[in-house]
Amino acid sequence: MKTKDIMLSAIQPTSYPHLGNYLGAVKNWVKLQDQYRSYCFIVDLHAITVPQTPENLSLNTLNAAAFNLAAGLNPKEVTLFIQSHVKEHAELAWILNCFTYFGELGRMTQFKDKSSKSGENIGAGLFTYPILMASDILLYDTKIVPVGEDQRQHVELTRNIATRFNHRFEKEIFIIPEPRIQGSGARIMDLQDPTSKMSKSAQNDKGVVFMNDSAKEMEKKIKGAVTDSGSEIVYTPDKPGIKNLIDIQVAITQKSIQEIVDHYQGKMYGHLKVDTAKLVMEEAMPIQEKAGQLLKDKDTLIDILHDGAERARNHARETLDRVYSTIGFVPGKGR
Ligand code: TRP
């Protein structure tokens, strides 16, 4: 039997997950979970590249774990853990720091964007963060990294660092990972500004459906979605508002675009909005309830995460030991 390829995905604990996170990422991992050997972790080490309050960080970390489990991630199938529980991430990051060029990091467009917005005091972590991401990926012999287009450059950097390291020591220490870029249908846009991606950092919450919004709030936001001029329901880039609502329906129902467009022949925008709101509520409410139950029993939730961390660590330690001995570090006690 061919062993399964390794897939790795990360969750940012910087807010409660929104509809874009759920439909663009989580729902997809749940669908793929038995095809791959999967690692899925909450990137609290990454979150602190920008200021976080301690209460929010721990709350959002546990919320993210509960949400993913509630959405159907099976912790027996997927190794689910908190990044800071596996200290090998930080350890490998240091090593890879010494195999990454200053110029490479300076070319990262996400860094250029973020640093131009954050004024004078730009944390070094914001600059070196792609190296931590490379460690995340390389620690687990990852083959597949499902990410949005905005992360492609970071995965490319990871490939370059891994290739450089392998060449330097003339051994295949690291597996070279591949980005799996999510299709446009999986890209849910802001309801108030359907030309930008739905994002927690949007100016206005009205365009962002958080998965812990009440049913009423969800309905209000979707019914209030900005639509386009005209009245015909068609799927085209010139009608980003309508296209987005159709994409939401496709992601939830897994029907084809054509099937949905056909269904709305001769109907009005209002119909599309009402139905989309209903679908979102029906999808989100059971997850919300389940997440609530998981959060009530924190000990069990934490046990699941500790168990995941232990499994992850076994793999991570093996990789790191291989790296340390390749570099020429003298083995420490117990290794
Ligand atoms: N940088 C990713 C983002 O901002 C999150 C991330 C951290 C990640 N480590 C990763 C994604 C490893 C894929 C693999 O969305």
Q: Kindly state the percentage of the chain with pLDDT values over 90.
A: 84
pLDDT at residue 1 in the model: 57
Say if residues 138 and 177 touch (Cβ distance below 8 Å).
yes
Residues with Cβ within 8 Å of 240's Cβ and at least 6 positions away in sequence, in order, are 189, 194, 195, 228
Task: Quote the ligand 1 centre to 13 CA distance (angstroms).
Answer: 11
In the chain, count of helices (H) and strands (E)? 14, 5
pLDDT at residue 184 in the model: 58
Task: Quote the ligand 1 centre to 304 CA distance (angstroms).
Answer: 22
pLDDT digits (tens, 9 = 90+) for 208-229: 999 999 999 999 999 999 998 8
pLDDT of residue 153 exceeding 70, the answer is yes
pLDDT digits (tens, 9 = 90+) for 167-177: 999 999 999 99
pLDDT of residue 278 exceeding 80, the answer is yes
Tell how far CA 187 is from the center of its chain. 12
Active site residue 223: no
pLDDT at residue 204 in the model: 87
Q: Kindly state the percentage of the chain with pLDDT values over 70.
A: 98
Question: Does the 205-293 domain belong in CATH 3.40.109.10?
Answer: no
DSSP class of 299: H
pLDDT at residue 309 in the model: 98
pLDDT of residue 166 exceeding 60, the answer is yes
Q: Is the CB of 25 under 6 A from ligand 1?
A: no
Question: Band of the pLDDT at 230, cuts 50, 70, 90?
Answer: confident
pLDDT at residue 185 in the model: 60
Which residue is catalytic, options 31, 87, 200, 273? 200
The crossing angle, in degrees rounded to 10, of helices 124-138 and 152-169 is 70
Say if residues 125 and 49 touch (Cβ distance below 8 Å).
yes
82, containing H or E segment: strand 78-82
pLDDT digits (tens, 9 = 90+) for 6-16: 999 999 998 89
Question: Band of the pLDDT at 335, cuts 50, 70, 90?
Answer: low
Nearest CA to ligand 1 atom 11: 10
pLDDT digits (tens, 9 = 90+) for 23-76: 988 998 898 898 999 999 999 999 999 889 999 999 999 999 999 999 999 999
pLDDT at residue 272 in the model: 96
In order of 72, 248, 261, 266, 287, the CA distances from 255 in angstroms are: 20, 11, 10, 19, 21
pLDDT digits (tens, 9 = 90+) for 95-151: 999 999 999 999 999 998 888 887 778 889 999 999 999 999 999 999 999 988 889
Reading across the β-sheet that carries 37-42, which strands appear in turn? 78-82, 37-42, 6-11, 144-147, 178-181
Question: Band of the pLDDT at 292, cuts 50, 70, 90?
Answer: very high
Q: What is the mean pLDDT of the chain?
A: 94
Which residue is catalytic, options 2, 27, 143, 197? 197
Say if residues 19 and 188 touch (Cβ distance below 8 Å).
yes
Question: Band of the pLDDT at 334, cuts 50, 70, 90?
Answer: confident
Active site residue 200: yes
- Give the residue extent of every domain in the chain: 6-187+297-327, 205-293
Task: Quote the ligand 1 centre to 16 CA distance (angstroms).
Answer: 17
CATH number of the structural domain 6-187+297-327: 3.40.50.620
Average pLDDT on 280-298 reads 97
Nearest CA to ligand 1 atom 6: 10
